[in-house]
Chain A
């Protein structure tokens, strides 16, 4: 290793140490506190089994919220992504729209949830709105990028046939940009379930409400039941989306050319 690299590594370490001091990193507290973790973990294993039912229904509500938010978000994203694509739309439309979409992605959904709790009050509806908004920002971006990446060839050919703009979008742009959509939706739903699980912390519905409250009152055994249910649900959804992806997306791509990468 040359001295330049050593200097760089030294500098990075120095910066980390200074910053840690600045924000109050305390390794001694961590070591001293480790026994506490042991206590919490021990209490967590003392499941209070009468809560399984409640946890199940709370998780179901969480999944429903995530599902509604994902679907609403995707439905709204599809037209927006067309207006935001540079190869379809005018710059007076896509410019402001892209800025707006970028803004919705700036904050995690939990911050949007706080805002919507103020607007529509406590409960799942605020959570659904937050998930919807975040999904719009995310899926729109993925979609307008895949619209911008489509082949120009069929666009030119159908212009020469005399298709209207709407027909072009309907018969060329959408079919050519849609293949990744299902996989994007699955990914988004997966992500949204995890996000929705914590929205309860700010009173926007879902299973997080129980988890945060039991932890607040040191009822780790109860909290653990709810956390375990979240874990099982997330793993199950993960497994299911892999299955769906294999079944539909692999099938859709079956027969497509295999690209040989040359070095």
Chain B
């Protein structure tokens, strides 16, 4: 075996996929909803972002895939600036599985059609126009539908699904993209804790299967600590805390050494 190849492979595994340096963001160029945020997400990480409502979490996620442009600082995805006006970047955006807080499903289409949308950037103009899906694409769609547990309902119209099922469709569509990274904005926040954990387990499975990096926004700190190995806390547009979780151990990256109780306490403080 070629040693240099092995070496470069293992170094890729630890490369950063998202980098932010002193990023600020504003919707009206007067007030900033994010101020001077820096973060570094390595490939393969299971990253969670928590914070109160209105603290700027969704904005942070939109900066990562170029749906928003920072007012200051630098954002890099795979060492390039996410910018939808850049043709080079537009090609790579299909590798970012982004699930917005509102899911963005086509309600009058079937589950399968929604999932196929994730694969459209790979299809030729002709095939996508006439809905001639290649066999391997259909197979992949059914594979991800099985993974999220919706293969039996693949012909159902999306507006006839439950809230949890809709989230599964959005996950399946993102997985259909064959993504490098999954950005998910509070996809389990509105669900009961049993369904929320079911869906988090689905994502955990998918991460293992497809070797995914995930950045997920959560409302529930406990859920974040349970599933993620990195947790960042956003407060009023600032990243006030970043910790790593390894088994029972909590490693601190931004503040002093804290116990899990202290962190939970800190988050629960008004």
Contact = CB atoms under 8 A, between A and B. Distances in A.
B108 A161 contact: no
B18 interface: no
Contacts of A172: 106, 117
A176 B108 contact: yes
Interface in B65-106: 65, 67, 84, 90-91, 93-94, 96, 98, 100, 102-106
Interface size class of A (residues with CB under 8 A): 20 to 34
Contact of B94 (A151, A162, A178): A162
Interface residues of B, number: 31
B53 interface: no
A216 to B, nearest CB: 52
B118 A170 contact: no
Given A164-B125, A175-B113, A176-B108, 7 more contacts: A153-B104, A156-B104, A161-B118, A162-B90, A171-B128, A176-B106, A255-B160
25 contacts: A153-B100, A153-B104, A154-B104, A154-B107, A157-B100, A158-B104, A158-B106, A160-B67, A160-B98, A160-B100, A160-B104, A161-B173, A163-B117, A163-B120, A166-B128, A166-B129, A167-B128, A170-B129, A171-B106, A171-B120, A172-B117, A255-B160, A256-B159, A256-B160, A257-B159
A175 B98 CA distance: 22
Interface in B93-141: 93-94, 96, 98, 100, 102-109, 113, 116-118, 120-121, 125, 128-129
Contact of B108 (A157, A158, A160, A178): A178
A256 B65 CA distance: 33
A126 to B, nearest CB: 35
B151 to A, nearest CB: 20
Interface string B147-184: 00000000000011000000000000100010000000
B102 A153 contact: yes
